[in-house]
Chain A
Amino acid sequence: MKNIQKEKTDICPECKDLINEFIDHRMDFASRHAFMERISRCRREKGCYLCIELLKSFMSLRKSLKSLKLDVSAPDWLMRKILEKIQ
Chain B
Amino acid sequence: MTVRNNEEQLRKFEEYLRLYKDDVYRVALYFTKNKDDAEDLTQDAFIRAYTFFNRFRHDTNFKAWILKIMRNLYITQVKKKRFTVEHQDEHMVMPDSNNNTEKQLLDSLRVMDVKKAIDLLPAEFKEIIILCELEGYSYEEIAKIIGIPVGTVRSRLHRARLLLRERLAVKQ
Question: What's the minimum C-beta distance from A53 to chain B, rounded to whole angstroms?
Answer: 10
For residue A73, CB closer than 8 A to chain B, the reply is yes
Interface residues on A, range: 20 to 34
The A-contacting residues of B in range 106-148, CB under 8 angstroms, are 107, 110-111, 114-115, 118, 129, 132-134, 138-139
| A34 to B: closest C-beta gap in Å | 19
> Considering the chains assembled together, what is the distance between the CA atoms of A87 and B10 in angstroms?
8
Specify which of B107, B114, B161 is in contact with A58 (CB 8 Å cutoff).
Answer: B161
Dominant secondary structure at the B interface? helix
Q: Tell whether B74 is near chain A: CB-to-CB under 8 Å.
A: no
CB contacts (< 8 Å) of B14 on chain A: these are 83
Binds A, one of B19-27, B56-64, B79-87: B19-27
Of the A-B pairs whose beta carbons lie under 8 Å apart in the complex, a sample of 20, sorted by A's number, is A20-B158, A26-B139, A61-B161, A61-B168, A65-B114, A65-B129, A67-B114, A68-B118, A70-B91, A72-B26, A74-B21, A78-B25, A78-B42, A78-B43, A82-B21, A82-B43, A82-B46, A85-B47, A86-B13, A86-B47
